[in-house]
Amino acid sequence: MNRTWEFTDLEFVVLWERYIDDHIPKPLTFTSRTPLLDDYEREKFEAWERLQATAPTWLRTALEVLARPQILVKVLGWYDRNTEDPQRWIRARVACSGNHGYILTQRPGETIRHSGGYKITECGPRSLGEAIVKTLPKVEAGRFGDIPIVTSAADVLEQIHSSGSMVLESGGESAVHRSNRFFDTAATRTGVIILHQGQSKFGPRGILEQILIWRDLPDDGRYVIELGSAPTAIGIGTRRLAAKLDMMIEDMLERVENHWESSA
């Protein structure tokens, strides 16, 4: 059974500062409700006194992995029509290193800058995909299959002169029209999943990053766009998305562990 621990927002900040000696990590947020600094410092000290007696010993390892992982995944979600609605926001930080894997989620607070608390869950380092997908709403795969993303005149010209995908497709609908219809439909939730190599011997220039944008469309389902030279919105369900994330994480872990970057 995977171990879990729940914190108030202040308790998490205190443990992070004590064990990691840094501000809380992205994409999490924290805003104190205590207006005076002296009162805030006193509250933190009192929280630390309590935590020394109650916090399990494995939490320190969990926080260290979340702070300095081999592979880091940041999960965000929001509502396009009201990005200030805290209840629609999703924030999670997922990390693995060696035999350890953890997911850190934030509960919504009264504003998007406040937190209602945090939860750490231990999970296997080779099966993070399922844990990541569980942070998202339960939504079926989009019903319209793969939708080419056309974002500029340059994209249109490239499609005309290369694959010919601007020719009318099934149902007499062009790729441009399908792309426009996809983005004109107001999503019930939109978000991003950012996979990030935690470290590289080449420094920042050697860090590999991969980004997935996800959109949940009403009366339709979930689509994921992997950013690249020819982005396509792919209708994708829970199981397939988890498998895709596991594959991406595994590839990134192999890159780190086998030093693929040494030949870069």
Q: Provide the domain count of the chain.
A: 1
In a domain, 152, yes or no: no
What is the rounded average pLDDT of the residues 201-230? Answer: 86
In a domain, 200, yes or no: yes
Taking each continuous run of H as one helix and of E as one strand, the counts in the chain are: 7, 10
In a domain, 158, yes or no: no
Q: In percent, how much of the chain has pLDDT > 70?
A: 85
Structural domain of 127: 4-144+182-262
In a domain, 227, yes or no: yes
In a domain, 128, yes or no: yes
pLDDT at residue 259, rounded to an integer: 58
231: confidence class by pLDDT, cuts 50, 70, 90: confident
pLDDT at residue 201, rounded to an integer: 65
In a domain, 168, yes or no: no
Task: Measure the CA–CA gap between 201 and 11, rounded to whole angstroms.
Answer: 34
Task: Measure the CA–CA gap between 107 and 120, rounded to whole angstroms.
Answer: 11
Mean pLDDT of the chain, nearest integer: 87
In a domain, 97, yes or no: yes
Task: Measure the CA–CA gap between 264 and 252, rounded to whole angstroms.
Answer: 15
Count CB-CB contacts under 10 A for residue 31: 12
What is the rounded average pLDDT of the residues 197-213? Answer: 78
Q: What is the pLDDT of residues 149-170, one digit of tens each?
A: 886 544 443 443 444 443 334 4
Choose among 76, 75, 28, 80: nearest CA to 189: 80
Please, which residues have CB within 8 angstroms of residue 23's CB and are 6 or more apart in sequence? 16
In a domain, 156, yes or no: no
Whether this prediction's pTM lies above 0.95 is answered by: no
